[in-house]
Structure 1
Amino acid sequence: MADIESARATFNKFDVNGDGFVTADEYSAAMKAMGDAFVTASVADAVIASKDANGDGLMSFDEFWAALNK
């Protein structure tokens, strides 16, 4: 099981605008900032879609946390 404080800190690195959700664009930009220039738009879309439990096209912290604890 993941540590919720560490998970929140990681999630916040991806939630650039601080609205509580991570979009595919935010995910891609954060990955590029961390040195992974190979995250394309389609890869980012797929990652978000794989974590998006409610189908709104966004990843919330609850969805992120649930994915970490699978």
Structure 2
Amino acid sequence: MADIEEARKAFERIDVDGDGYITAAEFKKALAQGGDWNVTDSVAEAVIGAQDLNGDKLLSFDEFWAHINK
């Protein structure tokens, strides 16, 4: 089981604009900053889409937490 406080910190680092959602662009940027420059827009969109439970193409903290707390 993951630590929810650590998960919240990680989520906030990725959610650059602070709106409470991670977009595919924010996810891609976070991966690039971590050294993974090979992630395409379509891959980032697919990763977000796989975790997006309500189909809004955004990742809320609850969706993020549900995914990492499996």
TM-score normalised per structure 1: 0.96
Matched, 1:35 2:39: no
TM-score normalised per structure 2: 0.96
Partner of 2:49: 49
Unaligned runs of 5+ in 1: none
Q: 4+ residue runs of structure 1 moved beyond 6 angstroms?
A: none
Matched AA of 1:12: E
Number of residues paired by the alignment? 70
Percent same amino acid among aligned pairs? Answer: 59
In the TM superposition, what is the alpha-carbon distance from 1:22 to its structure 2 partner?
0.3
- 1:3-56 Cα offsets, whole Å, 9 max, x none, are 001101111111000000000001001110111101110110011001100000
RMSD: 0.6
Unaligned runs of 5+ in 2: none
